Homo-oligomer: A and B are copies of this chain.
C-alpha cells in the first residue's frame, strides 16, 4: 500500500473520532434555518474570505474529480456594470447592492485537466471526449454540485448567499467568458444579509411526497 493511501485512511478514521455529526446550531446555519438573502448590509467581503470559500468548496466530490466549476467574483463597480445588462428586472437592484456576486460557470473542456486532477486513470480524458453530450452533461452536473458546495461553504463561513438563475446566460457568457470553453450556470450574491429583507419561508414537500424506500 502507498503511504499516502495509509495517511488518507488514518485521516478519515481520526475525523470520525473527532466529530460524529453536526450539532443543531450547525445544521441550522448551513441548511435548516439558512435563507436566501435579498438585502445586504454594507459589510464588504475580503479577498481572503473568497479564498477561504474556494478552499472549502473545492473539496466537495465531483465525478472523476473533474472540478468543472469556474468562478468570477463580481465585486467592483466596473464589473457590476458589465453584469447589470444580463440581469432580470427582479434581480437587478439587489445584485447591484450586494458586496459581491459570484458567477458560477462550468468548463466544457474540463477533461483537458484530468491528467492533473485524476492522475491514477491515464485514460480518463477519453471517457468524455468521445461524446459531446456526455461532456456537456458532466460539466453541467458537476459544476452545479460545486455551486451547491459554494452556497454551503459560504454559510459555513458566516456569509449569506443569494443564488439566482434569473439572468441572460448568453449575455453573461459574451461579457465574461468570450473566447473560452466556459458557460455560465447560475449566479450567487455573497455578503452579510439584512434580516429585515427576509420573507416567510415557502413550504417544502413531505418525505412521502417525493421519496420512496424500496
Contacts and interface: CB of A to CB of B under 8 A. Distances in A.
B18 A28 contact: yes
A200 B67 CA distance: 17
Contacts of A144: 140-141, 144-145, 148
Contacts of A198: 5, 8-9, 12
Contacts of A117: 202-205
B211 A54 contact: yes
Contacts of A2: 200
A164 B29 CA distance: 27
Interface in A1-36: 2, 4-5, 7-13, 15-16, 18-22, 25-36
A25 B166 CA distance: 36
A163 B12 contact: no
B9 A67 contact: no
A150 B51 CA distance: 25
Interface residues of A, number: 98
Interface string A173-194: 0000000000001100000010
B21 A157 contact: yes
A122 interface: no
A31 B60 contact: yes
- Which of the listed residues A50, A51, A195 has the most CB atoms from chain B within 10 Å of its own CB? A195
Interface in A54-79: 54-61, 63, 65, 67, 69-76, 78-79
A2 to B, nearest CB: 6
Contact of A212 (B10, B12, B71, B207): B71
Interface of A: 2, 4-5, 7-13, 15-16, 18-22, 25-36, 47, 50-51, 54-61, 63, 65, 67, 69-76, 78-79, 82, 113, 116-120, 138, 140-141, 144-145, 147-149, 151-153, 156-158, 161, 163-166, 185-186, 193, 195-196, 198-205, 207, 210-214
What 8 A-B pairs are tightest by C-beta distance, nearest first? Answer: A148-B148, A4-B200, A79-B214, A21-B158, A144-B144, A19-B25, A65-B202, A22-B156
